[in-house]
A and B are shown apart, each in its own frame.
Chain A
Amino acid sequence: MPITTTRRRLLAGSVATLALPAFARAQSAVKPRLTAISQWSAGSDGAAITALGKKFEEKGGVWQHSPVPGFTTEMMNKLRAQIMAGDPPACSQLKGPEIAAWSKIAPTVDLDAVVAAAGYEKVVAPDLAKLHKPGGKWIALPLQIYSTNMLFLSKRAMDKAKADKIPVTWADFNDLAEKMKAGGVPYPIANGGTRPDDGQKFEAALAGISPLAYRAAIMNLEKKALEGPEIKAAFAQVRKIADWMDPNVGAQHFSTNLKRFIEGDMGMMIMGGWAQGVLRNAGFKLEDFTIAPGPSNNGKPVFLLNADAFIFWQRKEADLQAGQTLMAQLVMDPAIQTMYSQITGSIPVRTDVDLSGEGWSDGQRRTAAALKDAIASNQAVLSLAHNMAQENGMTAAMIDVITEYVKNKTIKPEQAAIRLAEAVEGAR
């Protein structure tokens, strides 16, 4: 049959084309290969990692990425299964203190030599670097950064409030909210009702009131700091925020209310930098909103760090080891970080990337500047709500208290502070 012949010919042809470059390279060295798993399969996240894979292939590597769509926990289940089966991926998505926790259950790759060769350590925020070298050695590499406490201001709500100044401290913020309310904005705060949403309100409040107290209480879990006055003050601020939110959101995602936010029905939003990408994807213009660092009582920006990262698992195969080195070099490369962040709307991990050029938004520029300032004044801290400050078990125990407090207005700030300290003790 003619069709069969054509198919056979096609097959033979494609096999030859595939084999040719491999044959050509066979003499020089092994061909780098990378098996990777992540949850990034669709949207800007999927586009960004696909672009990264293309770069990997351009350098002569074989890119084998298996996305596990859905929640991070589902990706973790796959990772767990592969590790238990003795067949971990060469590289997987993982972030925050989970890197330290997971590195105890399977051997990881020592990246110190590659990191030193790239001179990477001096361009990474110190707290962030610490997370990726739990035993003193680099075993994972951060890929992109978001701040979880960016302040989004609706242009139309600002007009209604007849305000044009971006609030700097929590007192400014509260004044503006009152003005908006008086000016006919029914809900001065736009929000979702998920656990991370509630957690973000609290961490933004506490870090803005005192980054020192945040570091001591939330990152280092110091008992004295957990019972300190700053925690109560943060809960009191969260109550104010909660009273300005639309109670009807239930357990909705924050993106449900973006339209009302842009239309000036809701005024301000405390959200991660990723909301910029969501707003633009939803068709809203950059002129409709302003992005600024979240309120900080001492006037200097406070940056709540959230960073995606890759961890590298030990493999014996020479081609996978070559692939891991290549991947590490790519992830640290400023050009690659620029490409990645421009797709997802995050900012690069490297603090020496110039964001003045084309392809960056004002929000991204302001976020990067805030990070630089925050690092200089030691006010770059790790996000609790997005699993950067504590392992998942501790985070969940603390968020339980926060989310209940946001939804139950009969709990007093003092009670909430006591409950938070108790939850920490219980989860230790």
Chain B
Amino acid sequence: MSNAAAIRPGRPALPEWVRRLPEYLMIWVPLLLSAAHLISFSLWTIWISFTPSTLVPVSGWVGLRNYTAVAASRNWQIAFDNLLLFGSAFVVLSAATGLILAILLDQRIRGENALRSIFLYPLAVSFVVTGTVWSWLLNPGLGIQKLVHDLGWTSFKFDWLIDRDMAIWTIVIAAIWQSSGFAMALFLAGLRSVDADIVKAAQIDGAGPVRIYRRIVLPSLWPITVTVVVIQLQFAISTFDLVRALTNGGPGIATQLPALVVYDLMFQRSLLGRGAAAAVLMLLILLAVLLPYAAWRYVQRRRALHA
């Protein structure tokens, strides 16, 4: 049965659980530790959000007062609206960019490896770096606008960074630059796993490339699309460093996002209770994305088993 028993036949075989002890240790200890960490701190945060804590955590009960205060604050309302806009625009556009890049790369072109590395490279850069670099590029007095002006087109205008209504789009741009390579990699793997026989059959039947993509390849990609969307969404919800480096919530408070509000409440305003309440609200938003995804995965698996 086991190798140890086969090599030294003289010895009695160890009990099953002892032989598998290393595996159990490898899997369960880190899993339990991180689960305990996650769960205990989440519960702690939830508890704090119901207390009157300010500078330091204190016990006491204020009911939903922290939640109503956060929800009524201008900062949170702006942050929530921004999240809806930023989240949907970023997810849709980065998935679309990733998909287009993947399809173009899938044409068996020369230098595919090099191009793939180039597109994936931004993912290796820290968000703070991305934010800082884009804050220079997008600054009208330093970056793209100035370059075009210096080239002679002086009526050119690209000042979204300092425009209250458009500033949130600069974060979308930087985030897409950073993570569309990731979507591309996933889509590319999906494209490569499409059954070549079906594609051949379609070609023999006389279908053009556009039709093949539209009717055969793209429909088989949709499980990957869901994965990409969910991963990007949870990134969007927890965005902090990018916006902090790029606009720091400005101009004014026009580009606030929930994570910035949590940090601001907890560490700049020293309102631990309200910060915790904002953090719990963020967790709820995340759950609103992740729970349907988990349910969908569950249904998929059941369907696969019964098929």
Contacts and interface: CB of A to CB of B under 8 A. Distances in A.
Given A247-B162, A248-B139, A407-B164, A393 B56 contact: no
A378 interface: no
B248 to A, nearest CB: 5
A80 B55 contact: yes
Nearest to A393: B269
B133 to A, nearest CB: 14
Contact of A73 (B57, B159, B164, B267): B267
Given A76-B267, A392-B270, A426-B73, A193 B56 contact: no
Given A73-B267, A250-B247, A426-B73, 5 more contacts: A76-B270, A250-B251, A396-B264, A404-B252, A404-B254
A104 B247 CA distance: 36
Interface in A73-112: 73, 76-77, 80, 83-84, 101-102, 104-105
A250 B135 contact: yes
A193 B251 contact: yes
A1 B72 CA distance: 73
Interface string B72-86: 111100000000000
A246 interface: yes
B174 to A, nearest CB: 14
Interface of B is mostly: loop
Nearest to B56: A105
B3 interface: no
Contact of B268 (A83, A102, A246, A392): A392
B253 A393 contact: no
Interface of A: 73, 76-77, 80, 83-84, 101-102, 104-105, 193-194, 246-252, 391-393, 396-397, 400, 403-408, 426
A305 to B, nearest CB: 21
A102 B253 contact: no
B60 interface: no
Given A251-B247, A251-B250, A393 B271 contact: yes
B141 interface: yes
Contacts of A426: 69, 72-73
B161 interface: yes
A407 B159 contact: no
Q: How large is the interface on B (under 10, 10 to 19, 20 to 34, 35 or more residues)?
A: 20 to 34
Interface string B123-142: 00000000000010001111
Interface in B235-264: 247-248, 250-254, 264
B268 A396 contact: yes
A246 B141 contact: yes
A139 to B, nearest CB: 16
Contact of A102 (B55, B57, B135, B267): B55
Given A248-B159, A251-B247, A392-B270, A406 B252 contact: yes
24 contacts: A73-B267, A80-B56, A101-B270, A194-B248, A247-B159, A248-B142, A248-B162, A250-B139, A250-B247, A251-B251, A392-B268, A393-B269, A396-B264, A396-B269, A397-B269, A400-B74, A403-B250, A403-B253, A407-B164, A407-B250, A407-B251, A426-B69, A426-B72, A426-B73
Contact of A404 (B159, B161, B253, B267): B253
Contact of B269 (A84, A392, A408): A392
Given A83-B56, A102-B55, A400-B253, A250 B267 contact: no
Nearest to A400: B253
B198 to A, nearest CB: 52
B100 to A, nearest CB: 31
A417 B193 CA distance: 62
A84 B69 CA distance: 26
Contacts of A408: 164, 251-252, 254
Contacts of A397: 269
A405 B57 CA distance: 34
Contacts of A393: 54, 269-271
A-B residue pairs, 6 tightest by C-beta:
A248-B141, A404-B252, A407-B251, A407-B252, A393-B269, A251-B248
Contacts of B139: 248, 250, 252
Nearest to A423: B74
Contacts of B56: 80, 83-84, 105
A95 B54 CA distance: 18
Contacts of A396: 264, 268-269
A86 B212 CA distance: 69
Contacts of B269: 392-393, 396-397
Contacts of A406: 252
Given A73-B268, A80-B56, A393-B271, A248 B74 contact: no
Most central of A83, A392, A406 by chain B CB within 10 Å: A392
A75 to B, nearest CB: 11
Nearest to B270: A392
Contacts of B74: 400
A403 B269 CA distance: 16
A188 B251 CA distance: 21
Given A73-B267, A248-B139, A403 B252 contact: yes
Contacts of A83: 56
A86 to B, nearest CB: 12
Nearest to B140: A248
Interface string B59-100: 000000000010011110000000000000000000000000
A400 B251 contact: no
Given A102-B55, A248-B162, A393-B271, A400 B75 contact: yes
